[in-house]
């Protein structure tokens, strides 16, 4: 693969804005564990190897189990391994990431309201939106797995 534009060098203010989102997300009510599940699942859907690698490593460091990471792509068939909150977050992640299919369905939103406040749902959506943006930056920039973001 050829080298591509480095957003950090070409548009440092854009990267600064993205880091502002990350700073905001670090202070939300959503647990680090849920955030990492969101980041891994969205990155799997988007086939972003760079982000899958980074966020699975982060999740493991945060106490996530290998089994749950291994099965995450098929979480609906392994619901007993995921809490109601996690299932809700994963459903939101999939529907927002695959927004062109039908968007965030009423059923998924109503289910989320059973376990999260509207503020928390807004925060979850922002985590999903942000990782989708990072996935697109990494994929279009041909980021290499395991290398730093330069």
Q: Would you say residue 95 lies in a domain?
A: yes
Q: Would you say residue 62 lies in a domain?
A: yes
Q: What is the DSSP string of 84-150?
A: HHHHHHHHHHHHHHTTTTT-S-HHHHHHHHHHS-HHHHHHHHHHHHHHHHHHHHHHHTTPPTT----
Q: Would you say residue 150 lies in a domain?
A: no
Average pLDDT over all residues of the chain: 94
Q: Would you say residue 13 lies in a domain?
A: no
Q: What is the pLDDT of residue 149?
A: 63
When pLDDT is averaged across residues 3-12 and rounded to a whole number, the result is 82
Q: Would you say residue 20 lies in a domain?
A: no
Distance CA 139, CA 92 (A): 22
Among 23-37, 59-73, 98-112, 132-146, whose mean pLDDT is lowest? 132-146
* Number of domains observed in the structure of the chain: 1
Distance CA 80, CA 82 (A): 6
Cα 124 to chain centroid distance, Å, stands at 9
Range of the domain at 119: 31-140
CATH number of the CATH domain containing 50: 1.20.1290.10
Q: Is 28 helix (H, G, I), strand (E, B) or coil?
A: coil
């Amino acid at each position: 693969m050829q080298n591509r534009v480095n957003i950090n060098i070409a548009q440092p203010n854009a990267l600064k804005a993205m880091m502002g989102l990350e700073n905001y997300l670090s202070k939300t009510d959503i647990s680090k564990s849920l955030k990492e599940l969101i980041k891994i699942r969205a990155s799997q859907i988007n086939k972003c190897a760079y982000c899958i690698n980074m966020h699975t490593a982060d999740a493991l460091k945060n106490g996530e189990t290998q089994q749950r990471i291994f099965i995450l792509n098929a979480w609906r068939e392994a619901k007993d391994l995921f809490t109601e909150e996690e299932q809700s977050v994963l459903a939101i992640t999939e529907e927002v990431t695959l927004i062109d299919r039908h968007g965030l369905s009423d059923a998924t939103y109503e289910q989320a309201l059973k376990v999260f406040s509207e503020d928390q749902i807004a925060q979850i959506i922002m985590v999903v939106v942000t990782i989708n943006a990072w996935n697109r930056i990494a994929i279009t920039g041909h980021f290499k797995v395991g290398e730093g973001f330069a």
